[in-house]
Amino acid sequence: MSDERFDSTVSTTCGYCGVGCRLEAHTRDGRVVSISPAHDGPANEGHTCLKGRFAHQFTRSRQRLSTPLIRDPPLRGAGGEGFRKASWEEATALIVSRLGEIKAMHGPDAIAGLASSRATNEDCYAMQRLIRAAIGTNNIDNCSRVCHSPTSFAMRRAFGLSGATGSFSDVDHTDAAILIGANPTEAHPVVGARIKQATLRGMRLVTIDPRRTELADYSVAHLAPRPGTNAAVMLGLCHVVLRDGLTDPEFIAARTEGFDALEELLGAYDPGSVEEITGIPGEQIEQAAHIYGEAENACLFWGLGVTEHRYGSEVVQLICNLAMLTGKVGRRGSALLPLRGQNNVQGSSDMGALPDTYSAYRPVDNEQVAELFEQAWGVPLSRQKGLKINEMFDAAVAGKLKAMWIFGEDVAQTDPNVAHVTHALESLEFLVCQEIFENTTTAFADVILPASAFLEKAGTFTNAERRFQLVAPAIDPPGEAKTDFEIITTLSRALGHEMGWATPAEAMDEIASLTPDYAGVSHERVGRHGLQWPVAADGTDSPILYEHEFSLPGGRGRFAALPYKPPGDAADDEFPLILITGRRLQHYNAGTMTRRTKNIELQDGDWLEINPDDAARLWIETGDQISIRSRVGRIETVARITDRIEPGHVFTAFHFPEVRTNLLVGSSVDVNTGCPEYKVVAVDVRPISEQAARTPALAAH
Amino acid sequence: MRVTVDGTELEVGAGATMLEAIRAAGTDVPTLCYDERQAPFGACRVCLVGVEGAPGPLPACTTPCRDGMAIDTQDETSRRVATAIVELVLSELPSAPAPHTELAAVAAKLNVGTPRWPGPTHPVEHDERHPYLAFQHELCISCGRCVRACDEVQGAFALSATGRGFGANIAAGLDSGFLESSCVSCGACADTCPTDAITENTLLQL
């Protein structure tokens, strides 16, 4: 349809959350003026949210980085520091010489890179190739480390592949669903709307969340566990399913292994015992287990409320147990659907931007795999696993890691234990940041490279359904800013490693040729409708995984007999409340983009949600300025009283650098993946006032 | 089952509507209140078609097919009624719909120019308080698409039909504007609106 208001309309894929809405971006005079949803988008089916549709004005913000910046004066910590504008040639020469010096003096393992889950598959693949081939180390990671790495780990353990077993459209073909630790009507609004519509049509929903989220109001049952006790909840559900004969013995016998050990473990998790651990009434555990177990088809959704825990990866394995016990996996309407946080959290890891694996999770210490890439890239490659994000910061503080290249991640705002991250960034000898805006992290950079937003670049994102989808530029990057693909390939050339691609499409051809799981992927084939991996050489894709067998040796899924263990932090006399963090509808993660749009008029700050009982005890009223103190940090914000959170728990978001919620989060991480425990932080909350009170007061309640 | 559209025979699935059969046959009838993302509503009567044996025109969007049905999209009575409806709709607007709107496209398809009927038009009433979404109440034709998008696609239940007869219109919340309603700013209403009665603020400033 032609439209007299627009110069051009470009079909692309949203760069906000992991739902992967297909969008039509309409431009006029070199700006995006409107975005509408593509009617044929498989994940969004003609719908999108206020972030995808409206939050695009940041692309032409006057604060966009439009030229390379170099620290001036060049000495770190010399005081009076600022940045001066520089040419690309000067910035490139500085990066090449400094990285060269550091590599010569300390070896390649003194350098590390972070790829970005906000960037395209081709950008991430190029970045890991630069770090591996041009630098010579496996010190490459990406921000999925801090969100869904436990999901990836656990699903590979249980089923074989790192991704959802089905598609979001399964929610239209299912009778029941359990939603665990996720608030999709705010964090993944289009999937949230799809789940809500399904409940209105009669789908029976169970929500498991310490907060009474919007979808909890649409649920048949809402289970509010104590933060950090998800494992006990899942074990309790499995116990009831087994006890009451709701399992699928044929499926268990034919397609799984490890059932006996699980059966033995489950004996201890009767509803009464689970109630003691989780605080959820035993009858609710029974009700939820029956809703799931009795449904012909049922889906399991989960978010970061499951993964960002000390035992997050184990809980995902326990979720997989429930699906296998009841045979509810591998068919339409019975899917396991992790709600991935960022637009390309799936893809950045798929592409091998990880310290231990090449594309499609093939280990770096596997001789055959390493040789394949050595042959393709024409350089020797390290067999030694690299550092994860949290280990990079530890190594920097210890003086072993000297240089980092951080691409599209504001680690100083979003990573846990901000004080430690800051110390690490200060300890580096050389830091390159590749960004679209200056942020908390770029303040520590030696060189800042101006990069491009998703509306300015070409490539593919892989959404939470394992679907490769095309990204196409609607507008040009501002000023001298370049696409990330051009920056990385050009820098790699300057560092002495020619990648040999002119376009992202050519990079995808290489990815396909070196990765059997993506063998049939090309930009042409991805087209308007996308391809869900694995994609065979003839282009056949896989909307449903594990229809006949699991992708593990023997084709059998693996039950995990993992007991409940307490979280890394617990409330005590000094820190009596448990803080949970999460997203709000109007903003997205560090807020770098959404705070620079009119979304700020809809929501201009963070606040702490607190139960009326706790508020009364602490003499706190809605609107009061409060202090939140944890074992590692202290922040201030305002309070809002709500009964949507249970007594003993408080909640806030992390979108505003003025609040810097992550100062409160300590160093506890998932035991298998190093994903931080953002969701259980013991805190002390108390009111503060601008001036010392001179008048004695009575309690407000 | 088998149906015939303008003489072409084709197979359609159980429960298919006449509109789906017409589109599957590669032909089309104009629609105003229809949006494939929503359940058929049948409010505008612009998709009327002739059906062999039926006493009068039938709305294609809400009428299910039955085996052996013969549909005539060129039926003269149906086209005459649809054209008159669109002309009446246009006669209530203070200005012609913008060229990019669905209403303008439907009017062009039915060759409806400036309406012949004088009389009152809707008073111009804009509400641009929301940062992204704007009401232009005078352009509302009461097709109900925005209300259904809000209910059936998003599930925010923020919009409702208000008034009656010539005064019929739409309102967010208790007619207090988007910001004071349960609106989640998804924009599905602006996306589906066939007249720009709800549109994007930024587009008004172009």
Total domains present in chain B: 2
Structure tokens at B203: 């587009």
Whether B36 and A46 lie within 8 Å, measured CB to CB: yes
Same domain for B151 and B109? no
Tell me if B186 and A4 make a contact (CB, 8 A cut-off): no
Give me the pLDDT at residue A346, please.
Answer: 96
Kindly state whether B155 is in contact with chain A, defined as any CB-CB distance less than 8 angstroms: yes
Q: How far apart are CA A342 and CA A414, in angstroms?
A: 13
3-state secondary structure A315-339: HHHHHHHHHHHCCCCCECCECEEEC
If contacts are CB pairs under 8 Å, which of residues 523-562 in chain A contact chain B? none
Q: Do A50 and B186 touch (CB under 8 A)?
A: yes
B36 interface with A at CB cutoff 8 Å: yes
> Does A210 contact B at CB distance below 8 Å?
no
Residues in chain A: 701
Closest CA to A595 of A584, A582, A609: A584
Mean pLDDT of A329-347: 95
Long-range contacts of A256-261 (CB under 8 A, 24+ apart): A256/A324, A256/A556, A256/A557, A256/A558, A256/A559, A257/A554, A257/A556, A257/A557, A257/A558, A257/A559, A258/A558, A258/A559, A258/A560, A258/A561, A259/A559, A261/A559, A261/A561
Choose one of A477, A504, A532: the last residue of a domain.
Answer: A532
Question: What would the two tokens of residue B167 be?
Answer: 């005064």
Q: Tell me, yes or no, whether A395 and A288 share the same domain.
A: no
**Are the beta carbons of A5 and B202 separated by less than 8 Å?**
no
| A48 contacts B186? CB cut-off 8 A | yes
Shared-domain flag, residues B112 and B61: yes
Alpha-carbon span A15 to A120, nearest angstrom: 9
R_g of chain A computed on alpha carbons: 25
**Chain B residue with minimum CA distance to A584:** B184
My answer on whether B170 and B148 are in the same domain is: yes
Q: What's the CATH number where B191 sits?
A: 3.30.70.20
Tokens at residue A158, please? 């249980």
Domain termination site, one of B63, B87, B118? B118
CATH number for the domain spanning A334: value is 3.40.228.10
Same-domain pairing of B17 and B42: yes
The shortest CB-CB distance from A34 to any of B153, B184, B202 is to: B202
The answer to whether residues B85 and B33 belong to one domain is yes
Last residue of a domain, one of B72, B99, B118: B118
A201 touches chain B (CB under 8 A): no
A54 and B184 in contact by Cβ < 8 A?
no
A43 vs B contacts (CB less than 8 Å): none
Same domain for A153 and A138: no
Do A348 and A450 fall into the same domain?
A: yes
Identify whether residues A172 and A295 lie together within a single domain: yes
Contacts of A5 in chain B (CB under 8 A): 100, 203, 206
**B105 to chain A: which residues are within 8 Å by CB?**
1
Q: Which residue of B has its CA nearest to A7?
A: B206
Q: Which amino acid is at A624?
A: D
Cβ distance A586 to B200 less than 8 Å, yes or no, reads no
Model confidence at A81: pLDDT above 70: no
Nearest chain B CA: its distance from A644 CA (Å): 17
For residue A423, name the pLDDT band (cuts at 50, 70, 90).
very high
Cβ–Cβ gap A585/B184 under 8 Å: yes
Q: How many CB atoms lie within 10 A of CB A486?
A: 17
- The average confidence (pLDDT) of chain A is 95
- List the single residue in B99, B131, B200 with the smallest CB-CB distance to A4: B99
* Claim to verify: residue A524 and residue A637 sit in the same structural domain: no
Helices A88-106 and A484-494 cross at an angle (nearest 10°) of 50
A100 touches chain B (CB under 8 A): no
> pLDDT at residue A630 above 80?
yes
Q: Name the closest residue on chain A to residue B37, using Cα atoms.
A: A46
Whether residues B132 and B198 share a domain: the answer is yes
Same domain membership, residue B35 and residue B18: yes
**Neighboring chain A residues of B154 at a CB cutoff of 8 Å:** 47, 193
Band (pLDDT 50/70/90 cuts) for residue A667 is confident
Is some CB atom of chain A closer than 8 A to the CB atom of B26?
A: no
Q: Are residues A137 and A159 in the same domain?
A: no
Residues A175 and A233 in one domain: yes
| B185 touching A (Cβ < 8 Å) | yes
Domain end position, chosen among B85, B118, B151 = B118
pLDDT for the residue A417: 87
The CATH number of residue A92's host domain is 3.40.50.740
**pLDDT of A692 over the 90 cut:** no
The partner residues of B9 in beta bridges, in order of sequence, read B4
Q: Is residue A527 in a domain?
A: yes
Residues 6+ apart with CB under 8 A from B8: B25, B26, B27
pLDDT at A101 over 60: yes
Residue A560 lies in a domain: no
Pull the structure tokens for residue A695. Answer: 């008048």
Of B105, B184, B200, the CB nearest to A34: B200
| Strand blocks (E) in A73-186 | 82-85, 111-115, 140-142, 176-180
Query: In which band, very low, low, confident or very high, does the pLDDT at A693 lie, cut at 50, 70 and 90?
Result: low
Asked if the model's pLDDT at residue A314 lies above 60, the reply is yes
Contact B155 A193 (CB under 8 A): yes
The predicted-structure confidence for A599-617, as pLDDT tens digits, reads as follows 999 988 899 999 999 999 9
For B:97-136, CB contacts with A below 8 A are: 98-100, 105, 131-132
**Residue A75 pLDDT > 80:** no
The identity of residue A537, as a single letter, is A
By C-alpha distance, the chain A residue nearest B133 is A54
CB spacing of A598 vs B188 below 8 angstroms: no
Domain boundary among A338, A357, A387: A338
How sure is the predictor about A637, in pLDDT bands with cuts at 50, 70 and 90? very high
Residues of chain B with pLDDT under 70: none
Report how far residue A663's alpha carbon sits from residue A684's, in angstroms, rounded to the nearest whole number.
Answer: 14
- B97 and B135 belong to one structural domain: no
Grouping H, G, I as helix, E, B as strand and the rest as coil, residue A65 is: coil
Model confidence pLDDT, tens digit, residues A246-272? 999 999 999 999 999 999 999 999 999
CATH number for the domain harbouring residue B56: 3.10.20.740
Question: What is the CATH classification number for the domain harbouring A655?
Answer: 2.40.40.20
A194 touches chain B (CB under 8 A): no
Amino acid of residue A640: R
Closest CA to A12 of A455, A340, A436, A451: A455
Q: Do B10 and B107 belong to one domain?
A: yes
Same domain, A468 and A602: no
User: What pLDDT does residue A699 have?
Assistant: 67
Burial class of residue B118 in the structure, from the number of CB atoms within 10 Å of its CB (0-12 exposed, 13-18 middle, 19+ buried): exposed
Contact across the interface for A193 and B153, Cβ inside 8 Å: yes
The total number of structural domains in chain A stands at 3
Are residue A202 and residue A328 in the same domain, yes or no? yes
Flag if A4 and B100 touch (Cβ within 8 Å). yes
Residue A692 lies in a domain: no
- Binary contact (B184, A46; C-beta < 8 A): no
Residue A80: per-residue pLDDT:
54
Residue B25 and residue B112 in one domain: yes
A28 vs B: CB within 8 A: yes
Contact at 8 Å (CB) between A654 and A662? Answer: yes
Helices then strands, counting H and E runs in chain B, come out as: 6, 10
- Out of B37, B153, B187, name the one closest to residue A53 (CB): B187
Residue B70, C-beta contacts closer than 8 angstroms, at least 6 positions apart: B3, B4, B51, B52
Please report which confidence band the pLDDT of residue A690 belongs to, taking 50, 70 and 90 as the band edges: low
pLDDT in the model for residue A78: 55
Nearest chain A Cα distance for residue B203, angstroms: 7
Provide the residue range defining the domain that includes A678: 577-687
Please check whether residue B39 touches A, CB under 8 A.
Answer: no
In this structure, the answer to whether residues A133 and A232 fall within a common structural domain is: no
Pick from B98, B105, B203: CB nearest A33? B203
Q: Which two tokens stand for residue A234?
A: 């899942």
Task: Tell me the residue range of the domain where B136 lies.
Answer: 126-204
Q: What's the whole-number mean pLDDT along residues A515-542?
A: 97
Listed residues A307, A338, A369: the one ending a domain: A338
Residues A135 and A198 placed together within one structural domain of the fold:
no
The pLDDT value recorded for residue A73 is 81
Interface A-B, measured as beta-carbon pairs within 8 A, has a size of: 70
Q: Which residues of A touch B37 (CB under 8 A)?
A: 39, 45-47
Residue A4: inside a domain, yes or no?
Answer: no
CA distance A193 to chain B (A): 5
Q: Indicate if the pLDDT at residue A109 is higher than 80.
A: yes
- pLDDT score of A147 more than 90: no
pLDDT of residue A656: 85
Chain A within 8 Å of B153 (Cβ-Cβ)?
yes
> B109 and B22 in one domain?
yes
What pLDDT score does A591 carry? 86
Domain match, A449 and A431 both: yes
Run of H or E residues at A204: strand A204-208
